[in-house]
């Protein structure tokens, strides 16, 4: 695993390397330590660095990625709640990558600790039902935010996300979110608030659906 992580990190440009080193030196490990809350069960975490190597992701420039990220945040109904001056600073904390088609960026039932914005392309969100049926839950579009629940709690993935076309993505890991909390707490607080709001809306929708089914 260490060799895989080093392969991805070694391809980083200087700002990303500096950010990674800064993250290692920070005391804040609130989100990156969430895995310890799973108790005594054996859990294998799949970090973005390992998945990036596995799917053959290629880095794209932070300038290009940051510009796309900021433009799409303004179109996302949740991220648009953040002031432009905050979204302009987000690019410093994201990894930007190009992923080939027909690759699993996340897999169902694995433990993950990163989320990503889809910057371009299309992904399929699928879930394998207990009886074996493959159910298409959604097709994503640029500006969609995916995997935020596992970012916050390092929990198990509910579904798989597979690229249908070549896709550009912006990835935020739990470790880097901890770094953001130290270096830019205003941005971190605003981002976590937006993610919490998105999750609450989804939970209320599921609760309402279950309530309707019980009538």
For residue 180, what pLDDT band results from cuts at 50, 70 and 90? very high
CA distance 206 to 204: 5
pLDDT in tens, 57-84: 999 999 999 999 999 998 888 898 899 9
Mean pLDDT score of the chain? 83
pLDDT in tens, 18-59: 444 444 444 567 777 665 565 556 667 899 999 999 999 999
Q: 96-100, 185-189, 208-212: which has the minimum mean pLDDT?
A: 208-212
Residue indicated by tokens 């290009």: 64
For residue 153, what pLDDT band results from cuts at 50, 70 and 90? confident
Q: 31-45, 71-85, 106-120, 137-151: which has the minimum mean pLDDT?
A: 31-45
Q: Return the pLDDT at 9.
A: 52
Q: Return the pLDDT at 26.
A: 45
The alpha carbon of residue 111 and the mean position of all alpha carbons in its chain are separated, in whole angstroms, by 12
The domains located in the chain, with CATH, are 2-214 (2.60.120.10)
CA distance 2 to 215: 52
Q: 87-91, 178-182, 211-215: which has the minimum mean pLDDT?
A: 211-215
CA distance 147 to 93: 16
CA distance 61 to 168: 11
The answer to whether residue 2 scores a pLDDT higher than 50 is no
CA distance 207 to 133: 24
Taking the model in full, what pTM does it have? 0.79
Partners of 146 in the β-ladder = 116
The answer to whether residue 4 scores a pLDDT higher than 60 is no
């Amino acid at each position: 695993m260490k060799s895989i992580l080093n392969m991805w990190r070694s391809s980083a440009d200087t700002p990303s390397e500096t950010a990674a080193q800064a993250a290692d030196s920070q005391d804040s490990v609130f989100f990156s330590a969430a895995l310890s809350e799973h108790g005594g069960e054996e859990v294998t975490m799949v970090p973005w660095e390992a998945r990036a190597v596995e799917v053959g992701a290629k880095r794209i420039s932070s300038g290009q990625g940051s510009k796309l990220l900021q433009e799409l945040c303004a179109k996302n109904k949740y991220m648009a709640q953040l002031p432009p001056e905050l979204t302009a600073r987000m690019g410093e904390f994201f990894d930007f990558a190009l992923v080939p088609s027909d690759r699993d960026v996340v897999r169902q039932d694995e433990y993950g600790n990163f989320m990503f914005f889809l910057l371009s392309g299309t992904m399929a969100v699928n879930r394998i039902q207990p009886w074996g049926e493959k159910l298409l839950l959604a097709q994503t579009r640029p500006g969609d935010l995916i995997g935020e629940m596992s970012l916050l709690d390092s929990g198990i993935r509910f579904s798989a996300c597979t690229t249908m076309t070549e896709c550009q993505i912006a990835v935020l890991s739990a470790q880097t979110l901890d770094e953001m909390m130290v270096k830019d707490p205003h941005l971190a607080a605003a981002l976590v608030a937006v993610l919490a709001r998105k999750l609450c809306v989804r939970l209320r929708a599921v609760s309402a659906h279950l309530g309707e089914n019980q009538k």
